[in-house]
Amino acid sequence: MLEHVDTSRFKGQKVGVLLGGDTGERDVSLNTGRAFVKALSEAGYDVAEYDLPNDLGRLADEKPAAVLIGLHGGSGENGEIQGFLRMMGIPYTGSGVMASAIAMDKARTKALLNAKGIPTPRGAFVPAAEFDANAVDEYARTVALPAVVKVNDAGSSVGVYICHTPERFAEAIAGVGELLTDAPTSGVLFEEVVEGHEFSIGMFDDQFLGAIQIEPASEFYDYEAKYQSNTTEYFFVEDEDLLIALENIGRATYHALGCRGVARVDFIGYPGDLKVLEVNTIPGMTATSLVPKMAARHGIEFNTFTELMLASARI
Which of 17, 86, 88, 27 is CA-nearest to residue 55? 17
Selecting among 156, 157, 289, 312, the annotated active-site residue is 156
Extended beta strands in 221-296, E state: 233-236, 262-270, 273-280
Do the Cβ atoms of 110 and 123 come closer than 8 Å? yes
Q: Is 31 a catalytic residue?
A: no
Q: Is 284 a catalytic residue?
A: yes
Q: Is 278 a catalytic residue?
A: yes
Selecting among 79, 123, 264, 307, the annotated active-site residue is 264
Q: Is 227 a catalytic residue?
A: yes
Selecting among 31, 152, 157, 280, the annotated active-site residue is 280
Selecting among 161, 223, 227, 254, the annotated active-site residue is 227
Q: Is 280 a catalytic residue?
A: yes
Give the angle 172-274-119 at the CA atoms, nearest 5°.
Answer: 75
DSSP structural state of residue 76:
G
Longest dimension (CA), the chain: 61
Q: Is 159 a catalytic residue?
A: no
Selecting among 55, 77, 266, 307, the annotated active-site residue is 266
Asked if omega into 146 is within 30° of 0 (cis), the reply is yes
Long-range contacts: 297-304, Cβ < 8 Å, 24+? 297/210, 297/236, 298/1, 298/209, 298/210, 300/1, 300/2, 302/35, 302/39, 303/39, 303/42, 303/43
Selecting among 284, 289, 307, 312, the annotated active-site residue is 284
Alpha-carbon distance 156 to 146, whole Å? Answer: 21
DSSP structural state of residue 165:
S
Selecting among 51, 55, 77, 278, the annotated active-site residue is 278
CA distances, 201 to each of 39, 182, 220 (Å): 23, 32, 17
Q: Is 266 a catalytic residue?
A: yes
Q: Is 114 a catalytic residue?
A: no
Selecting among 21, 24, 25, 76, the annotated active-site residue is 25
Which residues are known catalytic residues? Answer: 25, 156, 227, 264, 266, 278, 280, 284
